[in-house]
Structure 1
Amino acid sequence: MTRQLTTQNATITTAAVEVKTLTISGKQVTLAVFRQLKEEPLIAEDGTLNGEPWGSVNYHPDKCSAAAEHLHVVWQKGTELRRAYVDGTPNFDRVLSGGYRVSADWYSSVAANRYLTALVYMGLKTSNESILDSRPPSFATRHATHLSRLDFPEELSQAETFSVRATVPQDAVDAADLASAYIHAQTEADVGGEGALSSGWQKQTVEQRQEEVSRLRVKYDEAMSALRAMIEKCGGFDAIGDAYTAEIAAEEERRRRHHDVHASLAKLPQLFIAV
């Protein structure tokens, strides 16, 4: 009769050639017993361990030997033993075929979105030119926003060890679009009625262009007021910046813990079990 493997009856012994075996009541653990261990993650989301790792077993109970580099680790949770599938690298470091990184490499959050929104507002307030490139006309990409002329702080686009991806609400896109349209209309108005066939047409052209400038200015001011209200609802510029900075620092620390844990697990002794 196969006995259950527990922390009370399981031990690790070392042979003369430094081969470590996992035993139960003095007998080497079999594959059947190993398979009975409940599988549970060893590494928590915050990069800490959920228990004490004992060692790795070079056996793939789920026929995963062809998968990416990984370990099957035996670990202790309280008074019970568990087994865990541990990837060779953290998920945010994985590279897919073709050299593409998984989406987890990018960090995104509400705090990052709010920070970018605040930067867009400040950019619109201080810039005398459009901060938007022309947007692609295709249906699939017509809502894409290209904020190319706004000088974002370096830490928003690239933190110490990872990239940050952020999006802005439609109010920010509308304000940026109106700013672009307003600047263009003002440029046209500054030209006046040059090229008109008569003084009458020239006067009419100037009036029409000035009316367009006034109309766009009103709508732009309304959009900026709505955007500022959104920012103030989130605590204002300082609070948004502080929250973003603290969150990025915490994420960098979390990723560092994951790297350290993976490095330590890679050095675990291999535990030999019987066929």
Structure 2
Amino acid sequence: MLPTSACLGLPCWKLAYGSGILRHLICASLINPHLEIFMKFRLLGNFAALSLSLSATSALAQDTATSNLLDRYSGLEITREGPTIDAELAQKMFRRGNTYSNLQRYEEAIEEYRKAISADPNFANAIRNLANIYYFLERFDEAKPLLARYIELEQQANAPLIAAVSTLGELERQSQNYDSSIQYDERAIALDPDNDSQVHIMANTYNNIGRADLAIRIYRAGIAAKPENAFFDRSLGRILEQEGYVEEALEAYRSAASKDPESDFYADLVLNLESRLAR
């Protein structure tokens, strides 16, 4: 014979079927008091699981809603001008981007960095990291405007800024945008005056493509940044002489000789050119 409810006189299976598992457990506890403790723990476990599920669902919904908000606000347009939407959210997306980048999941990192920039258009570190990924992936046309934006925002003459300026100058040279590249190259020299090799690389690149005028500007920028470097004067003199500016070349050779009076090489350059002019 099936047990019945003391209060309703109905079989307990009907209570469970008609009103759910909770009532079934209550009915069972009325019949068998020893089940009461089990029922309490079972109910607590069910409620805890339900609470965790709701929390996770809520967090996911919140992230999705936030992402949708950013999409609607700017379409993740990184060149958007306007106030910061949410700096805290931008930091969160930035950290996610860093995580994906460290895992070499670059497309996901790109998405997170773009969201961070959309939330805070002046987030220089997110702009720089996104530019670095594009550069690494050789998506140079996408990297260049980001590098330019980072250079505009960064106020400290630090290593990332130096790298950004130098890289953008190089990319613009490769794209044959010389009116743009020379400006970044001159700034890179001023920011990193001890980097002699970059000066010669830049100048030789310009000279080899027939832009001696830009090579001359590069060496003059090098001399301004590091006046004691006699070899810059000598290199400037060589290009000036090559282009027919002989008297200016002589001045450059004399400057090199004065900076390094022990050098016979510089002294000979001066004597030889003076002899040519004296003929």
Bucket of the pairwise TM-score, normalised by the shorter protein? under 0.3
Normalized per residue, which structure has more helix? 2
TM-score of the pair, normalised by structure 2: 0.26
- Looking at both structures, which has the greater relative contact order when contacts are Cα pairs under 8 Å and sequence separation is at least 6? 1
Q: Which has the larger radius of gyration?
A: 2
